[in-house]
């Protein structure tokens, strides 16, 4: 056999080994994340921004699965809407994540309704706003602070308040971000807040003292899907986002990141590894 033929055969063998490694890795990851936790009725979940949209749907879905849910609502109308249904394990409570007094009151109410020596299984930081949608030269510091206060400082403060309760159950936090946390797209205040929540999730997750599991959920990149996330309650995209939430909360070993939608996955990975001068022209 010629030298070139031997070289070609060695390259093909290498490709086969690499392919087998990828298949084994994917299979092991799938098996690792397959088992679910049990005793949903003994687990308590806190969700912010349950007035409408994803937050409300998630609260109702988790209640239907058997979880006990504390649903934070920014308005009395949101509290009333969740109170109307027959959901004995779903407790809507007024909550403004940007207000310290409101967070303290919310925490006190949660503690009063928790059984003795019981912790919080999952905290879902769902509250988020798009903020002012205009060009950079028209934005003010107030525009940035309003978005950062809700999208970044709100989750950080909520985590801080609930850490003691989550330590009791070795709970988990689901921080909701957008692929804007990896890509320079859409509006500056919103993108800045998403980069911040990505950093918060990554840093806190790796701190051994927290004794928790931290996960970051990324929603679809496409602008029309992003608007559906905020303003609609029914679509296939919303259902996919809900399924990611549910898996992050119910899996025995959850993923550290959920990218919802194949277009997000392709865009996120390509933008992370392409040179900046190419990536900046693609977004």
Catalytic residue IDs: 190
Tell me the chain's radius of gyration from C-alpha atoms.
Answer: 21
Asked if 37 and 43 count as a contact pair (C-beta separation under 8 A), the reply is yes
Residue with tokens 């967070």: 103
Q: Is 98 exposed, middle or buried (0-12, 13-18, 19+ CB in 10 A)?
A: middle
Residue with tokens 């022209």: 281
Length of the chain: 283
Instruction: Please name which of 134, 130, 274 lies closest in space to residue 192, comparing C-alpha atoms.
Output: 130
**Helical spans, DSSP H, in the chain:** 3-32, 53-65, 76-84, 100-113, 141-148, 154-169, 188-205, 223-231, 236-250, 262-273, 276-282
Asked if 30 and 21 count as a contact pair (C-beta separation under 8 A), the reply is no
At residue 68, φ and ψ (nearest 5 deg) are -90, 125
Asked if 113 and 91 count as a contact pair (C-beta separation under 8 A), the reply is yes
Put residue 250 in one of left, alpha, beta given phi > 0 → left and psi -120 to 50 → alpha.
alpha
> What are the residues facing 259 on neighbouring strands?
218
Q: Residue 1, SS3?
A: coil
Question: Mutual orientation of helices 188-205 and 141-148 as an angle, nearest 10°?
Answer: 40
DSSP 74: S
């Amino acid at each position: 056999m010629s030298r070139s033929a031997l070289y070609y055969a060695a390259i093909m063998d290498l490709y086969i080994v690499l392919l087998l490694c990828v298949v084994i890795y994917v299979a092991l990851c799938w098996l690792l994340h397959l088992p679910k936790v049990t005793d949903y009725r003994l687990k308590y979940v806190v969700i912010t921004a349950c007035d409408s949209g994803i937050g409300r749907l998630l609260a109702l879905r988790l209640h239907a699965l058997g979880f006990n849910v504390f649903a934070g609502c920014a308005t009395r109308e949101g509290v009333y809407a969740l109170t109307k249904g027959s959901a004995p394990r779903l407790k809507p409570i007024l909550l403004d994540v940007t207000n310290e007094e409101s967070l303290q009151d919310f925490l006190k109410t949660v503690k009063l309704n928790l059984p003795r020596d019981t912790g919080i299984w999952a905290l879902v930081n769902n509250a988020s706003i798009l903020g002012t949608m205009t060009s950079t030269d028209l934005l003010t510091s107030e525009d940035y602070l309003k978005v950062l206060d809700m999208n970044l400082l709100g989750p950080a403060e909520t985590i801080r308040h609930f850490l003691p309760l989550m330590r009791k159950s070795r709970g988990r936090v689901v921080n909701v971000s957008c692929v804007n946390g990896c890509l320079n797209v859409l509006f500056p205040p919103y993108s800045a807040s998403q980069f911040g929540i990505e950093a918060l999730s990554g840093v806190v997750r790796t701190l051994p003292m927290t004794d928790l599991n931290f996960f970051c959920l990324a929603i679809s990149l496409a602008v029309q899907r992003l608007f559906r996330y905020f303003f609609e309650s029914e679509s296939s995209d919303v259902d996919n986002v809900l399924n990611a939430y549910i898996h992050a909360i119910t899996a025995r070993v959850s993923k550290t990141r959920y990218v919802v939608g194949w277009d997000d996955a392709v865009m996120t990975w390509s933008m992370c590894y392409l040179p900046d001068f190419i990536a900046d022209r693609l977004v």
